[in-house]
Amino acid sequence: MTAIANRYEILFIYEAKDCNPNGDPLDENRPRTDPETGEATISDVRIKRTVRDYFLSLEPDVEKRLAAGREVLIRDTLKADGYLSEGKDRAEQFLTEAAKGKKGEAKRQALETAVLTGCIDARLFGATLPLGKSEPSLQLTGPVQFAAFNRSLHRVSPTMVQQTAAYAGSDKGNQKSFAERWLLPYALIAAYGVANETAAQTTGLTEADFDLLLQGLWRGTAALNTHSKLGHDPLLLIAAQYRPGYRLGALPRRVSLANQTVDDTALRSTRDFRLEIGELLAAWRDCPTLTGLRVMQDPRLCCQAGDHTGLFAELAGSAKLPVATLDL
């Protein structure tokens, strides 16, 4: 299939309630925050993990995923001895009979073909895999990149919760121990990504792949159900399409909270605010390279553009922008 020919920007707004959107393992797994602004920060790695986990949930059989070109390269796999695979071990798992006897650049090219043919996350996000000593590494720049830190649109207040553990705290204890966990009572997060059509020519990223990415963002976020992640809900997903080589940029910084009924750290639901999108719509209206917007929205989120309120698609249509519904 043909690689994407246009540039895209993604603005994905979701809420996280009574959970830990992105814990920092070097800081007691507290929710990541900016110490200067008090905003929650969510890494690009966390967002890509959500998408990859969604892809894995669609088809549990590895061979079927490979045959469909939807295997996930970056995931935990085990070696024959039962230990977790290193990068070079994962690379060897893709070197089929066709690569036997090849060395150097020929071996790297065989690996590149196998990985890009079989793995959707490599076509989306790129890949780096070592082949071993004296062998060139596989290095592919991913067409889709998310901001290193994706921020909440307000200050947050991380909270530590204590709870009773399931077992005693020592071998001679008669009482159960206590466990601690960190969470955010509420965070409205704006994630930003770009799909680059030039890099897509190298990895073969198709429109179908890109649509699956959007599906993974929306459905994958809604499906997060681990102990620390249950409480995520997608609210607004926008895929903006531009002519090749162009984008507007800074999409999250063109939206803000308005009509707050409580202070930032007391926000608890979409009833406590509106999302002001007037600046974003105005910027797109003045952007001659924009060719279309596709939108998915939870109606719980009320958008505002100046004195007008409603769904994003309604307000974008009133601003004479080319808008269509995302079918996810």
Do residues 155 and 238 share a domain? yes
Name the burial class of residue 27, with classes exposed (0-12), middle (13-18) and buried (19+) by CB atoms within 10 angstroms of its CB: exposed
Do residues 288 and 207 share a domain? yes
Task: Count how many domains the chain has.
Answer: 2
| Per-residue pLDDT tens digits for 285-324 | 999 999 999 999 999 999 999 999 999 999 999 999 999 9
Q: Is residue 317 part of a domain?
A: yes
Do residues 137 and 114 share a domain? yes
Name which of 16-30, 61-75, 82-96, 151-165 the model is least confident about: 82-96
Do residues 182 and 292 share a domain? yes
Q: Which helix (H) or strand (E) holds 211?
A: helix 207-222
Is the CB of residue 17 less than 8 Å from the CB of residue 159?
no
Residue where the block lists tokens 């909440």:
152
Q: Is residue 300 part of a domain?
A: yes
| Residue 112 structure tokens | 């590149």
Do residues 250 and 302 share a domain? yes
Do residues 132 and 241 share a domain? no
Q: How far is CA 151 from CA 139, 148, 192, 202, 251, in A?
A: 29, 10, 9, 30, 12
Q: Is residue 273 part of a domain?
A: yes
| Residue 186 structure tokens | 């509420």
What is the rounded distance in angstroms from the CA atom of residue 32 to the CA atom of residue 156? 10
Do residues 311 and 230 share a domain? yes
Q: Is residue 52 part of a domain?
A: no
| Per-residue pLDDT tens digits for 38-90 | 999 999 999 999 999 999 999 999 999 999 999 999 897 767 777 777 777 78
Beta strands in 66-146 (DSSP E): 126-129, 138-141, 144-146
Do residues 263 and 151 share a domain? yes
Do residues 123 and 73 share a domain? yes
Q: Residue 47: left if φ>0, alpha if ψ -120 to 50, beta else—which one? A: alpha
For residue 86, what are the domain limits?
Answer: 62-141
Do residues 149 and 31 share a domain? yes
Do residues 223 and 248 share a domain? yes
Predicted TM-score (pTM) of this structure: 0.93
Do residues 314 and 186 share a domain? yes
| Per-residue pLDDT tens digits for 92-146 | 778 775 576 778 888 889 889 999 999 999 999 999 988 877 778 889 999 999 9
